Amino acid sequence: MTKPENSGGPWGSRRGRVLGLLAVLTALLLVFHPAVPQTPGHAGSLLETFLPWLGLAVPVLLVLALLRRSYVALTATLLPAAAWLGLFGGHLLPANDSAPTLTVLQHNVSDENPDPAGTVRTLLRAGADLIALEELTPGALPAYEAALSADYPHRAARGTVGLWSKHPLSDVRKVDIKPESVGDGWDRGLRATARTARGEVAVYVAHLPSVRLVPGSGFSSGPRDESAALLGAAVAAEPLDRVILLGDLNSTLDDRGLEPVTSQLAGAESGFAFSWPAKLPLARIDQVMARSATVTRVWSLPGTGSDHLPVAARIRF
């Protein structure tokens, strides 16, 4: 009995061509994700928000290639594996943070958080020099102030964002990042100068608008992108050389919608620190970024009463 012509033997060279094509497409999406168009429905930003998770395709394709006994598919699987490691492999390496200048912490505490005091207890374990909080309601703000004041004597708050510091703060002012479509009373940005032992640093705290998956129209990120452009303009105009940005930017740093910010500030060299949603973190939308400084490591803390996890980072000047 003759073998089918297209079998190529137990490990035939003609097997698994569809799997091989899927592997190539996965690699192309990883490497050329900026080429994915925004229309329809901001598809490019949606892909980039969850870009690291494309790596899950690699073990799936590998198992299928082994089951199919296909050299073609097995070899092609190396392409997305190499692409993923090229993009994200550095986050798996140990951080070079032996001598950090500052430890900072960023947390969207949620305007529905039932336990501000318990939240603060979790935050204090990080031993941060700076703590930035978002979604501070007028009713909850006094509770956070009372719980943090002993360890953080210097405070700045504007609207629903606040900064607590072990270092003196000066030149505190509001940063206007309000999209045109949002009504008055929407204050989600501040800037302060922190006088550290290594000199002055401008600290920005920001909470960009939320994004939504809207049936029929896709990924709605217009207001977020507009707010990111305003934040980027503020950072570009900052006279101090050293800048730290702490905030809920409502997307990952791979998202092209944050390009006005990511083109000027750098994120962490090590760590994924997925922060949202807290019960099953799929993305880090809470960011720590810096200019003329290096964010050497970022990590997430245990959950609080928020739908976000706190994110801590070490920064070296």
Asked whether the bond before 116 is cis by omega within 30 degrees of 0, the reply is: no
123 and 51, same structural domain?
A: no
Quote the pLDDT of residue 9.
Answer: 58
pLDDT band for position 40 (cuts 50, 70, 90): confident
Mean pLDDT (whole number) for 46-74? 92
Given a cut of 90, whether residue 218 has pLDDT beyond it is: no
Long-range interactions of 154-160: CB distance < 8 A, separation 24+:
156/190, 156/192, 157/190, 158/187, 158/189, 158/190, 159/185, 159/186, 159/187, 159/188, 159/189, 159/190, 160/111, 160/134, 160/135, 160/136, 160/187, 160/188, 160/207
In a domain, 174, yes or no: yes
Final residue before a domain boundary, out of 45, 65, 92? 92
129 and 74, same structural domain?
A: no
Final residue before a domain boundary, out of 29, 60, 92? 92
Establish how many alpha carbons lie within 13 A of residue 21's alpha carbon, considering only the half-sphere containing its beta carbon.
5
Quote the pLDDT of residue 211.
Answer: 85
150 and 49, same structural domain?
A: no
Neighbours of 112 (CB within 10 A): 11
For the ranges 11-25, 85-99, 273-287, the one whose mean pLDDT is highest: 273-287
Please provide the average confidence, as pLDDT, over all residues in the chain: 92
DSSP letter, residue 239? -
User: pTM of the prediction?
Assistant: 0.90
Quote the pLDDT of residue 1.
Answer: 47
In a domain, 303, yes or no: yes
Q: What share of the chain has pLDDT > 90, as a percent? A: 79
156 and 22, same structural domain?
A: no
202 and 278, same structural domain?
A: yes
Structure tokens at 99: 């001598």
User: Residue 282: which domain range?
Assistant: 102-316
In a domain, 3, yes or no: no
In a domain, 5, yes or no: no
Mean pLDDT (whole number) for 49-56? 94
Lowest-confidence region among 16-20, 213-217, 248-252: 213-217
User: Strands, DSSP E only, in 29-112?
Assistant: 102-108
64 and 144, same structural domain?
A: no
Lowest-confidence region among 12-16, 177-181, 188-192: 12-16
117 and 62, same structural domain?
A: no
Given a cut of 90, whether residue 193 has pLDDT beyond it is: yes
Q: What share of the chain has pLDDT > 70, as a percent? A: 93
Given a cut of 50, whether residue 5 has pLDDT beyond it is: no
189 and 260, same structural domain?
A: yes
pLDDT band for position 212 (cuts 50, 70, 90): confident
Mean pLDDT (whole number) for 25-42? 90
Domain count for the chain, please give it: 2
Lowest-confidence region among 109-118, 176-185, 194-203, 206-215: 206-215
pLDDT band for position 99 (cuts 50, 70, 90): confident
Mean pLDDT (whole number) for 269-274? 90
Question: In this predicted model, what pLDDT tens digit does every residue of 240-267 receive, in sequence order?
Answer: 999 999 999 999 999 999 999 999 999 9
Q: Are strands 130-134 and 102-108 parallel, antiparallel or unpaired?
A: parallel
pLDDT band for position 95 (cuts 50, 70, 90): confident
In a domain, 11, yes or no: no
